[in-house]
Amino acid sequence: MKTARTIVVGITGGIAAYKAVSIVRAFVLNGDSVHVIATEAALRFVGKPTLEAISRNPVHTDLYEGVSEVRHVTIGQGADLIVIAPATANSIAKLAAGLADDLLGNTILASTAPLVIAPAMHTEMWNNPATVANVTVLRSRGITIVGPGVGRLTGTDSGAGRMEEPETIVAVSLAVLDRQASAGEGAASAVPDLAGRRVLISAGGTREALDPVRFLGNRSSGKQGVALAQAALARGATVTLVAANLEVPVPTSITTVLVSSALEMHEAMSLAAAAADVIIMAAAVADYRPKTVQRGKIKKEDVGDTLSLELVKNPDILAGLSAARAPGQLIIGFAAETETDAEQLLALGRAKIVRKGCDYLVVNRVGHASGSTVGFGTERNAVTVLDRHGDIVNEASGSKMSVANCILDLIG
Ligand code: CTP
């Protein structure tokens, strides 16, 4: 049975504080125990009763309440993870300087738990040299910084500084917690081991147009690719995501190139590849596309009882990237197979890694009709990773996030 972990959510005084309620709720629904510490300013934006009801715990603000319990030390020492969302420019400055003039500041200093912060502020404040310098200090201390994204700000303006979506903050936080747990208490596991690495990931399933309204597609949801992007972000990498028709939201702080077809993905990946240290092709790419795309909708009256399609081969993106790889670039492919026999599955994988020329191949069994709970479209996955020699270097099963971390361990 999963044991509840203790997550401290620190909320500071910005308008995005209202979104912190969703973050708290997601952690509670995940089975974790959540303690909210709100600054006085945060409580101007969101009510204490709301936070207490959602977190199912008292909300603390004041350093001088319950002094006999030495509350900041108790909460800080009991935390498995501290998440600050939103983190204002002021709170980031205080964090960088190690200031402890309120309960949140004291709790952070009294804790050895990993820290995840989600900045939120206006673009000018985010770009201010003081904030830039403070964020650099935080990164150098191994603090995970999620976002900010680019988008609509409080007023009618938009730009960089919008707090990352709660879903991504939660996913990144849980990835940090999982890694901490798997590496053992007190380990340096939460230190972002991919800091400075540039990771390019493709995700989703391509669609090949037949006419203006129809396409040939596949059942890939993009969940595994997005989990890889979130996990890489949590581990400090700079991530670019080339996303085809995702069924899951795209994190706003990850540079994302939206594509639809295999040819579009080919172009986007080829353009981005030069600036990547690591390339992961998690997308399900159509091997063939219709030879001609009808300009108008295909009509039954024109076609009759049977319709034959002529398809032409798409470029093999992974094989092309592997053949043209820059020195030192690491390339990881996926193999989606329906083979049920484990030995046969590995044999297919071994033949595929030779054809593709990549460094590692993540073999996963996919399928729909079998009622499978792993693979395409599901929350879980089970994979075997092969190296160039066809040897098994890693096996993982579980949530797509934990599978993502096992894959990233190959490059960490
Ligand atoms: N891939 C690619 N370009 C293609 C087809 C696949 O880059 N045109 C990549 C996928 O992203 C994946 C790997 O190649 O990383 C293997 O994809 P998969 O569908 O398993 O294999 P295919 O090459 O399509 O071979 P087959 O369908 O015959 O198994």
The rounded mean pLDDT for the chain is 91
Q: Which CATH number does the domain housing residue 271 bear? A: 3.40.50.10300
Closest ligand 1 atom number to CA of residue 348: 29
Q: What's the pLDDT score for residue 27?
A: 97
Q: Are residues 104 and 245 in the same domain?
A: no
Q: Domain total for the chain?
A: 2
Q: Are residues 313 and 354 in the same domain?
A: yes
* Residue at 242 is within a domain: yes
* Residue at 191 is within a domain: no
In order, the DSSP letters of 269-313 are HHHHHTT-SEEEE-SB--SEEESS--SS---HHHH-S-----EEE
Amino acid code (one letter) for 158: S
The residue annotated as part of the active site, out of 90, 127, 128, 218, is 218
367-403 burial, b at 16+ Cβ within 10 Å, e below that, comes to beeeebebbbeeeebbbbbbeeeeeeebebebbbbbb
* Residue at 147 is within a domain: yes
* Residue at 1 is within a domain: no
Selected residue with higher pLDDT from 296 and 186: 296
* Residue at 40 is within a domain: yes
Q: Are residues 158 and 207 in the same domain?
A: no
Structure tokens at 71: 């509350």
* Residue at 193 is within a domain: no
In this structure, which residue's CA is closest to atom 9 in ligand 1? 318
| pLDDT category of residue 151 using cuts at 50, 70 and 90 | confident
| pLDDT category of residue 31 using cuts at 50, 70 and 90 | very high
End residue of a domain, out of 149, 183, 217: 183
Amino acid code (one letter) for 223: K
Cβ of 335 less than 6 Å from ligand 1: yes
In this structure, which residue's CA is closest to atom 6 in ligand 1? 285
End residue of a domain, out of 150, 183, 216: 183
Contacts of 136 (CB under 8 A, 6+ apart): none
Separation between Cα atoms, residue 159 and residue 317, nearest integer Å: 33
pLDDT tens for residues 213-236? Answer: 999 999 999 999 999 999 999 898
Q: Are residues 69 and 209 in the same domain?
A: no
Name the residue of 261, 270, 287 to mutate for ligand 1: max ligand atoms within 8 A of Cβ: 287
* Residue at 78 is within a domain: yes
| pLDDT category of residue 188 using cuts at 50, 70 and 90 | very low
Q: Are residues 206 and 97 in the same domain?
A: no
319 within 8 A of 355, measured Cβ to Cβ: yes
Name the residue of 316, 348, 364 to mutate for ligand 1: max ligand atoms within 8 A of Cβ: 316
Tell me the percentage of the chain whose pLDDT exceeds 70.
94
Q: Are residues 79 and 203 in the same domain?
A: no
Longest Cα–Cα distance in the chain = 84
Q: Are residues 238 and 154 in the same domain?
A: no
Q: Are residues 101 and 214 in the same domain?
A: no
pLDDT tens for residues 338-360? Answer: 898 989 999 999 999 999 999 99
Domain housing 176 = 6-183
pTM score of the predicted model: 0.85
Mean pLDDT of 318-329: 96
- Partners of 280 in the β-ladder: 201, 332
Q: Which CATH number does the domain housing residue 166 bear? A: 3.40.50.1950
End residue of a domain, out of 159, 183, 207: 183
Amino acid code (one letter) for 349: G
Cβ of 174 less than 6 Å from ligand 1: no
Q: Are residues 276 and 346 in the same domain?
A: yes
* Residue at 190 is within a domain: no
Q: Are residues 304 and 165 in the same domain?
A: no
pLDDT tens for residues 98-133? Answer: 999 999 999 999 999 999 999 999 999 999 999 999
Q: Are residues 161 and 238 in the same domain?
A: no
Q: Are residues 237 and 214 in the same domain?
A: yes
Burial group, residue 277, by CB count within 10 angstroms (0-12, 13-18, 19+): middle
Cβ of 331 less than 6 Å from ligand 1: no
